[in-house]
């Protein structure tokens, strides 16, 4: 039987219906025995993620407030009551106690309680990430110790639900990854166990050719390489946490992005066996364009050859974090744009500056024109690749 490690994101487990969908997915394959879960995410655009509420509850508790904590308890109670999950109240009591303690402990309790509840609902053992994912006193991941503990856990139990996002250290403290770090937890477990694949279940079909909220005709790619996924992450794509790519890639474990809400769709297969470049557009909006000559000598030395853009007048611009009194700019990256199409693409988007790097063309665009530029580049990419835009 092939071993599959599954990670369900916050959008997948936002409510009781999400728990039901996730359990049905597990039931469709006997190999899906190890499950990593995020804290419940937003149920609508106006909703809040549990992790955000926990951070606010920790701050409020220092001043006697409890509004955010009440919202958290109401969310989990609704899930527990709808699904008949025993133990919810006792776990909520523990969560309320921990929220008043250290910020990292408070932040981790969303995944902890979600895993407790989902384990009970799915009929699988709960294994606390604190015992598996290990950090040193400075917050650095202890990869060898983590791998050893994961393998020892798997030798004891043929399946488990593990909370993502956090682990423990020798001093007894809870340590967390950066936000979105449940992706990393899942990748570490899949890599340590040499899984057949690591399934990352979320609310999109897979890697899209562009953000569908920005480009209406975006299509889902069937396959992409880990190498390109790393480059997409650096360019601003937010499909997977970038730190989750290396553990699975180094272990030769493919990652498959899947849609919890449409599990019949194949998703995107990510492996270094994949060849070629998937045509994609991604954006960053937190920049400004600064003439190179306006920077100090030290700053010019740091960015030389890495982040300099050629302006239309032949001068050089640097893409810098957004600053006051500088024109806001966006970075639009086009992966897979043929070199012969670069001049025409510049006519399409009229960039402040442009640079090419390893099959990717990057355009500095005034922030107010980012959407139009992304759509124009996306349309050109799909035409060049002979791909029809999604209806």
- Contact yes or no for 14/44 (Cβ under 8 A): no
Residues 329 and 183 reside in one and the same domain: no
Residues 30 and 159 reside in one and the same domain: yes
Evaluate whether residue 213 is within a structural domain.
no
CATH of the domain at 108: 3.40.1160.10
Residues 170 and 37 reside in one and the same domain: yes
Q: What is the pLDDT of residues 202-213, one digit of tens each?
A: 999 999 999 998
Residues 194 and 295 reside in one and the same domain: no
Residues 74 and 176 reside in one and the same domain: yes
Residues 305 and 179 reside in one and the same domain: no
Evaluate whether residue 238 is within a structural domain.
no
For the entire predicted model, the pTM comes to 0.91
Evaluate whether residue 78 is within a structural domain.
yes
What's the pLDDT at 301? 63
Residues 184 and 298 reside in one and the same domain: no
pLDDT at 306 over 60: no
pLDDT at 38 over 80: yes
How many domains are contained in the chain? 2
State which residues form the domain around 64: 4-203
Q: What is the pLDDT of residues 82-100, one digit of tens each?
A: 999 999 999 999 999 999 9
Q: What is the pLDDT of residues 149-205, one digit of tens each?
A: 999 999 999 999 999 999 999 999 999 999 889 999 999 999 999 999 999 999 999
């Amino acid at each position: 039987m092939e071993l599959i490690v599954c990670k369900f994101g916050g959008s997948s487990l936002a409510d009781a219906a999400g728990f039901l969908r996730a359990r049905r997915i597990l039931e469709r394959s006997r190999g899906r025995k190890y499950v990593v879960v995020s804290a419940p995410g937003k149920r609508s655009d106006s909703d809040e993620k549990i992790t955000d509420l926990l951070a606010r509850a920790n701050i409020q508790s220092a001043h006697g407030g409890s509004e955010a904590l009440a919202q958290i308890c109401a969310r989990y109670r609704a899930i527990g009551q709808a699904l008949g999950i025993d133990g919810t109240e006792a776990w909520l009591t523990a969560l309320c106690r921990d929220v008043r303690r250290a910020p990292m402990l408070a932040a981790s309790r969303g995944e902890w309680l979600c895993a407790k509840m989902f384990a009970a609902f799915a009929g699988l053992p709960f294994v606390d990430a604190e015992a598996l994912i290990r950090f040193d006193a400075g917050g650095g991941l202890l990869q060898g110790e983590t791998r050893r503990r994961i393998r020892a856990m798997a030798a004891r139990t043929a399946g488990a639900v593990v909370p993502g996002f956090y682990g423990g250290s020798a001093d007894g403290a809870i340590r967390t990854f950066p936000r979105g770090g449940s992706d990393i937890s899942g990748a570490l477990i899949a890599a340590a166990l040499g899984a057949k694949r690591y399934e990352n279940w979320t609310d999109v079909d897979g890697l899209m050719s562009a953000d569908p909220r920005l480009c209406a005709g975006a299509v889902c790619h069937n396959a992409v390489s880990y190498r390109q996924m790393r480059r997409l992450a650096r360019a601003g794509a937010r499909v997977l946490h970038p730190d989750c790519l290396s553990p699975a890639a180094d272990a030769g474990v493919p990652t498959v992005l899947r849609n919890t809400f449409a599990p019949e769709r194949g998703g995107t297969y990510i492996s270094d066996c994949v060849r070629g470049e998937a045509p994609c557009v991604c954006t960053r909006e937190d920049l400004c364009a600064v003439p190179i000559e306006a920077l100090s000598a030290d700053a010019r030395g740091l960015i030389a050859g890495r982040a300099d853009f050629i302006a239309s007048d032949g001068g050089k611009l640097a893409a810098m974090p957004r600053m006051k009194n500088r024109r806001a700019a966006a970075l639009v990256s086009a992966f897979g744009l043929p070199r012969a199409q670069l001049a025409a693409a510049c006519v399409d988007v009229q960039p402040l500056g442009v640079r090419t790097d390893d099959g990717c063309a990057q355009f500095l665009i005034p922030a107010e024109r980012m959407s139009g530029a992304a759509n124009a580049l996306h349309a050109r990419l799909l035409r060049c690749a002979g791909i029809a835009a999604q209806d």
